[in-house]
Amino acid sequence: MPERATPRRQAADTGTIARTVAVLAAIADAAAGVRIRELAARLALPASTVHRLLERLIGEGMVERDAQAPVYRAGPEFLRMAARVVHAHPLQSIAAPFLDEAVRTTNETAYLCLYLPAEHRLSFVTHRESTHPLGYRVRSNEPQSLLVGASGRSILAWLDEPSRAAAFAREASHGAPTRSLPGRRALLADLAAIRARGYALSFGQRIPGAVGLFAPVFAADGQVAGSIGYTIPEQRFRGASEAALARRIRELAAGLSTALGARADTPQLPRSTRSARTASR
């Protein structure tokens, strides 16, 4: 007759699973490897408990111990499983529930943009429609400028200076009229404001009559991977709704970043949520 688990044993098993998952998560965050003492301090567990869990994980190929230094890192089985998951779940599918939630809570059309580093541009890759009869459609799956619109500037604000310069040079060298490009000083000031509040707001920059409100999305390496946000007809946008929309899209951007493997301490969501009414029109 199979042994029946008692409540005490069930609780112990659940605790072991939770601790094991916590160890794996900490290993995944420490690309260069981590020592037992560091793991124990980070997880608030006895070093003996961490050592025991690590030995079990080594036996399953989920963790490996460096032969030259007393550090632990992701093992071959952990890497194999992670690669299969990433291959089976492209960004669009990972982002789908976040886009659904964005529309469900605001009934405004939500878009996901991907940063194209080789081209210094972005692409709108997927979206969810609101039920409003009036709305704006953005051209999908084609490279577009990072310099205009909340969708682009929410990405540009988190790029390093060489990448920003390359994005500006790219637009100037590919036939964009000089008068259509923002002045460099004004652009840098706007990017600094975007970084300070954690999202971008624009009026009619990419599509005349449309308001864009987007927040950055980060990948596992901590680099900006794209943006998620709303495109709203200007006649339906109310300044009083900005704070709520911004708070929601920042929460969803943070959740999507976490789902993509970004660390919890990635500085993508500053606490400030002051009004973006000074954004460029």
Q: What is the CATH number of the domain that holds 247?
A: 3.30.450.40
In this predicted structure, the answer to whether residue 271 has a pLDDT above a threshold of 50 is no
Domain check: are 127 and 171 in the same one? Answer: yes
Domain check: are 244 and 112 in the same one? Answer: yes
Domain check: are 109 and 146 in the same one? Answer: yes
Asked if residue 103 lies in contact with residue 88, where contact means CB atoms within 8 angstroms, the answer is: no
Domain check: are 78 and 153 in the same one? Answer: no
Domain check: are 102 and 132 in the same one? Answer: yes
* pLDDT for 265: 64
- Pick the last residue of a domain from 32, 57, 85: 85
Residue for token pair 């987007």: 214
- Residue 160 belongs to what domain range? 89-259
- Pick the last residue of a domain from 63, 85, 107: 85
Asked if residue 36 lies in contact with residue 54, where contact means CB atoms within 8 angstroms, the answer is: yes
Q: What is the total count of domains within the chain?
A: 2
* pLDDT for 78: 86
Confidence grade of residue 280 (pLDDT, cut at 50, 70, 90) = very low
Domain check: are 31 and 78 in the same one? Answer: yes
- Give domain status of residue 265, yes or no: no
Domain check: are 48 and 176 in the same one? Answer: no
* pLDDT for 176: 59
Domain check: are 33 and 143 in the same one? Answer: no
Domain check: are 67 and 95 in the same one? Answer: no
- Give domain status of residue 63, yes or no: yes
- Give domain status of residue 108, yes or no: yes
* pLDDT for 257: 92
The lowest-confidence range among 20-24, 30-34, 178-182 is 178-182
- Give domain status of residue 268, yes or no: no
Domain check: are 226 and 97 in the same one? Answer: yes
pTM of the predicted structure, to 2 decimals: 0.69
Q: Among candidates 279, 147, 155, 163, which has minimal Cα distance to 227? A: 155
Domain check: are 45 and 98 in the same one? Answer: no
- Give domain status of residue 281, yes or no: no
- Give domain status of residue 105, yes or no: yes
Question: In terms of residues, how long is the chain?
Answer: 281
- Give domain status of residue 272, yes or no: no
pLDDT in tens, 77-100: 888 887 776 666 577 888 999 999
Domain check: are 116 and 207 in the same one? Answer: yes
- Give domain status of residue 280, yes or no: no
Q: What is the CATH number of the domain that holds 29?
A: 1.10.10.10
* pLDDT for 217: 95
CB neighbour class for 104 (10 Å; exposed up to 12, middle 13-18, buried from 19): exposed
Contacts of 1 (CB under 8 A, 6+ apart): none
- Pick the last residue of a domain from 85, 120, 141: 85
Determine what percent of the chain falls in helix, strand and coil, rounding each to the nearest 5: 50, 15, 35
